[in-house]
């Protein structure tokens, strides 16, 4: 049983979906602090051959608020503007007609919190990519929030009867394989290989939102990309 645990991000980069695809159960870690200047409510598109940061406004941004308590601010009418920007950026992309309705469905869903919206973006894209990983919410299933960091991750894995925990490569500074082995858990870090593809025949700009990948690549091509990683 392979498990991964991550904060919900809004249309994250392809490495996030590689992680989801690599495990049996994906825990949406939504009862931890909202990270300012992180990727929970924002990411990058390709607009006029440059990176363009899009974001969903939230009420009362604070690192003292948990993600599932952070409400979306609908006063700014951001959804319509964001969809117009996406259309402007990608209307000539080869898979625009297939992908744009998915983005509409997510961004017009009127979710109350950023956790709900970001999770919806993950679920909808996984459905399109035919990723069958089971999703669970930490805020619903794991009420013991007194545990922090590594200890809580291990507790969740044990609750799910996991044998294998996979974490993004950045976690190498946080987690040790020996600590996990003490609980009969194998720990690996996922490292995305270099991925590139045609973006309007211009110089490739990497590390954009999954939206960019979806717009320029077929389902079969993306399925190949989902396996372009190394477990360390």
Ordered by start, the domain boundaries in the chain are 2-231
pLDDT per residue over 76-113, tens digit each? 889 999 999 999 999 999 999 999 999 999 999 999 99
- Please name the residue that has the structure tokens 């409400």: 71
Q: What is the pLDDT of residue 141?
A: 86
Q: In what order do the strands lie in the sheet with 164-168?
A: 134-137, 25-28, 2-6, 164-168, 186-192, 229-231
Q: Where are the beta strands (DSSP E) in 141-222?
A: 164-168, 186-192
Burial classification of residue 155, based on how many CB atoms lie within 10 Å of its CB (0-12 exposed, 13-18 middle, 19 or more buried): middle
Yes or no: say if 119 and 8 are a contact pair by the CB < 8 Å rule. yes
Q: Name the more confident of 148 and 161.
A: 161
Higher pLDDT, 173 or 8: 8
Provide the pLDDT for residue 145.
66
pLDDT at 36: 85
What digits encode the pLDDT tens for the residues 205-222? Answer: 999 999 999 999 999 999
Residue 31 pairs in a beta bridge with none
Average pLDDT on 38-58 reads: 96
The reported pTM is 0.96
Q: What mean pLDDT value characterizes the chain? A: 95
Say what the pLDDT of residue 160 is.
Answer: 96
Q: 160-193, pLDDT tens digit by residue?
A: 999 999 999 999 989 999 999 999 999 999 999 9
């Amino acid at each position: 049983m392979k498990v991964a645990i991550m904060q919900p991000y809004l249309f994250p980069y392809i490495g996030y979906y590689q992680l989801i695809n690599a495990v049996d159960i994906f825990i949406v870690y939504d009862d931890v602090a909202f990270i300012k200047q992180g990727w929970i409510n924002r990411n990058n598109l390709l607009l006029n051959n440059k990176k363009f940061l899009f974001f969903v406004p939230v009420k009362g941004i604070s690192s003292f608020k948990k993600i599932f308590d952070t409400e979306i601010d609908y006063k700014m009418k951001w959804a319509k503007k964001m969809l117009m920007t996406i259309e402007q950026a990608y209307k000539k992309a080869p898979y625009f007609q297939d992908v744009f309705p998915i983005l509409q469905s997510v961004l017009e869903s009127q979710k109350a919190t950023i956790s709900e919206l970001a999770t919806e973006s993950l679920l909808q894209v996984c459905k399109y990519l035919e990723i069958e990983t089971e999703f669970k919410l930490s805020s619903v299933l794991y009420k013991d929030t007194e545990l922090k960091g590594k200890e809580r991750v291990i507790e969740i894995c044990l609750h799910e009867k996991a044998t294998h925990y996979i974490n993004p490569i950045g976690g190498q500074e946080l987690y040790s394989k020996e600590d996990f082995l003490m609980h009969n858990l194998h720990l690996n870090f996922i490292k995305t290989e270099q991925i590139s593809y045609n973006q309007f025949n211009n110089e490739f700009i990497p590390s954009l939102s999954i939206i960019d990948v979806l717009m320029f690549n077929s389902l079969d091509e993306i399925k190949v990309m989902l396996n372009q990683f190394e477990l360390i």
